[in-house]
């Protein structure tokens, strides 16, 4: 079963760009888009059924409920084992990369700007690769 894909970013143009790259890379035809982490985590909880798996492309620097708060909420939720996260960020701060590794759901870290090649590399990440074969 292919994962449902969720893209979370506070910038509309980035949401559209990542959506386009996801579709072009053949990862999903209609990813779900959210402009904040709170709406995305609520959606995940609402979708908690049938052992569906999710792949989330997550920006960490957003106003309000940011990517770190999303990850903190996910880490203590019942759906944490159904969700894998690839962080997509403009941050070049090494401490963000280190912090991201402390979350078991984070399987990748991509720095913007995102390319189609980067998106295709997601299918080669061990935890997700089995869903795209």
Residues 13-33 have pLDDT tens digits of 999 999 999 999 888 999 999
Section 44-61 average pLDDT: 88
Domains of the chain (ranges; CATH) run 4-104 (3.40.50.2300)
For the chain, what is the total number of helices (H) and then of strands (E)?
6, 5
133 has a pLDDT exceeding 50:
no
pLDDT at 129: 58
Q: Residue 21: helix, strand or coil by DSSP?
A: helix
pTM: 0.92
Instruction: Name beta bridge partners: 108.
Output: 86
State how far the Cα of 5 lies from the Cα of 70, in Å rounded to an integer: 16
The tens digit of pLDDT for each residue in 91-120 reads: 888 999 999 999 999 998 998 888 888 887
Q: Do 131 and 100 form a contact (C-beta atoms < 8 A)? A: no
Tell whether omega for the bond before 113 is within 30 degrees of 0, i.e. cis.
yes
């Amino acid at each position: 079963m292919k994962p449902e894909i969720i893209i979370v970013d506070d910038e509309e143009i980035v949401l559209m760009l990542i959506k386009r790259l996801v579709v072009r890379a053949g990862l999903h035809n209609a990813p779900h888009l959210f402009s904040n982490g709170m709406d995305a985590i609520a959606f995940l909880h609402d979708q908690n059924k049938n052992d569906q798996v999710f792949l989330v492309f997550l920006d960490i620097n957003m106003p309000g409920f940011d990517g770190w708060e999303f990850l903190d909420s996910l880490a203590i939720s019942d759906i944490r084992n159904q969700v894998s996260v690839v962080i997509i960020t403009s941050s070049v701060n090494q401490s963000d990369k280190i912090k991201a590794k402390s979350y078991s759901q984070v399987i990748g870290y991509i720095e913007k700007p995102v390319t189609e090649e980067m998106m295709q590399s997601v299918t080669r990440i061990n935890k997700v690769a089995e869903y795209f074969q």
